[in-house]
Structure 1
């Protein structure tokens, strides 16, 4: 366990836990005077429990923050691909029980949405609000097409080739539209992928196998809680249309896009994405924001269109 004190929150605690024989670690940024329920941040497959530290100055004053390296990710134990998304969703519930948190505001970005949605479907009593970013209810075609090439490159040790492919996969083409910090974020991703350890490469290969084998979506009931889905307006991996499709399956969900951003919206526009999450989780207005498109209600629009026919 590691504890530290900063100005933005009371303390930071790390807990090493084990679920069905697999060890994993969560990070808790405590807030003694919260304005809302604890916020659980589930990031993408290439993110870990420290990836959200740059958002803490905006989020930590509002509530306790929880991040985690689930089994198979970050510094946690390797998880064979036969363990599916249900297992990871149940691991999230196990963590909350172990740290004594009965209910959370749930954020899931990219792969974090895949795990977060399954967690919410299987443990609806633990979810107060839902925010998903860069999200979809199916594997993007460009991802399933890229996986064999990326896995082969990683398997033969061509880290540079795999890194270049991953950057192209996650980031939009410059011609798609203006994206804040596009070049800087591309360089950051390239370095991150190039600096992977052999164990991280092994986990990345297993992650790809897990997703392709088990898929990312099950049409199970979703809790009827306040829900927001957003993505960058130029997201070419999980496109805005995919985000709308996901929102349409969630009762009463709102959808919006963040201007001048792509799939890595939470990196390219940190302050704006943190503001959007914070506003939604504290019941403040999220319509009319200068960095977002107009709010949409895909489920209601779909119902209206069906009624009109």
Structure 2
């Protein structure tokens, strides 16, 4: 049975909080989870529980999230990557390499951390990667900030949930209706500091541009649902193609919120990736796509340097 440890750190004058679920075996690897919009360190639910069966799990409230301080939009992902490293050091996870998952808003932080602290990272998972805002949703995100500032909370909640859960018309998405109700209530009911955090985080995201250099050389898993239209498959392929050792997985019957809709499958996928097991042939996802320079679990033909190759 895992037990909880909490830690607080201050980086650049802004408070962060971390929570470790310690595995009974002190020698297992550590998985770090960085969440998306309004994600709190203790609210990963079943997905976290699956990971805690095999790993230490470290969840974070970086500045701008949860119980941490509000972070002005002018401070970007470089600052947040520094705050993450400071928090990992404070929690005692900085003495060894960790596996880092960044989901949605959190993916940009995970990506930048792997670029700036490559010796601290063993692998990276980018779930529904939002390293920059796709043109298709840019105006919706701007409008969500306007609705929030005007106090039009029902419209704000409806739009925010719709953007995150936007999916292929007519598609079957497991548990989407239940997840939509949860997200709608969460957005509708945010008050006080959480409103300011959402506003600053969204404005920061709208200003964010990808940092292609230096390329990430540790193993990378890019994953989203097959029906995701917030960070759609082609955007995920673009993200994966910029890494030297990446694989892309599209989950069946899921959209952008895969870890909420299919937590057991998402946990199984991440566990397999972190432990070096093959991702080929899984029943719950499309054939894995690999960057041409990435070594696969089995031999495969060479391809053009920027291509992604589907493997059955």
Tell me if TM exceeds 0.5: yes
Counterpart CA distance in 1 for 2:191 and 2:264 is 30
Take 2:81 and 2:307, find their aligned partners in 1: how far apart are those partners? 34
Shift of 1:30: 0.7
Q: Of the candidates 249, 253, 256, which is equivalent to residue 249 of structure 2?
A: 256
Post-superposition Cα deviations, 1:199-243, rounded to whole Å, max 9, x if no partner, equal 111111111111223x14111113422221111000000001111
TM-score (ref. length: structure 1)? 0.91
Provide, for residues 252-282 of structure 1, a one-character-per-residue CA deviation record: whole Å limited to 9, x for no partner: 2011100000001111111000100011111
TM-score (norm. length: structure 2): 0.90
Equivalent positions of 1:4-83 (< 5 A) are 7=1, 9=2, 11-33=3-25, 36-83=28-75
Residue of 100, 103, 113 corresponding to 2:107: 113
Structure 1 unaligned spans of 5+: 1-6
Aligned to 2:190: 196
* Separation in 1, partners of 2:114, 2:307: 28
Superposition CA RMSD, Å: 1.8
Q: Tell me which protein shows more helix as a share of its residues.
A: 1
Matched with 2:176 is 182
Work out the CA distance in 1 between the residues paired with 2:289 and 2:167: 26
Q: Count how many residue pairs are aligned between Structure 1 and Structure 2.
A: 297
Q: CA deviation at 1:134?
A: 0.6
1:208 to 198, 202, 205: 202
Gaps (5+ residues) in structure 2? 294-302
Q: Does 1:286 align with 2:279?
A: yes
Match of 2:297 in 1: none
| Residue 236 (str. 1) matches residue 238 (str. 2) | no
* Aligned match of 1:3: none
Mean CA deviation greater in 136-145 or 198-207 = 136-145
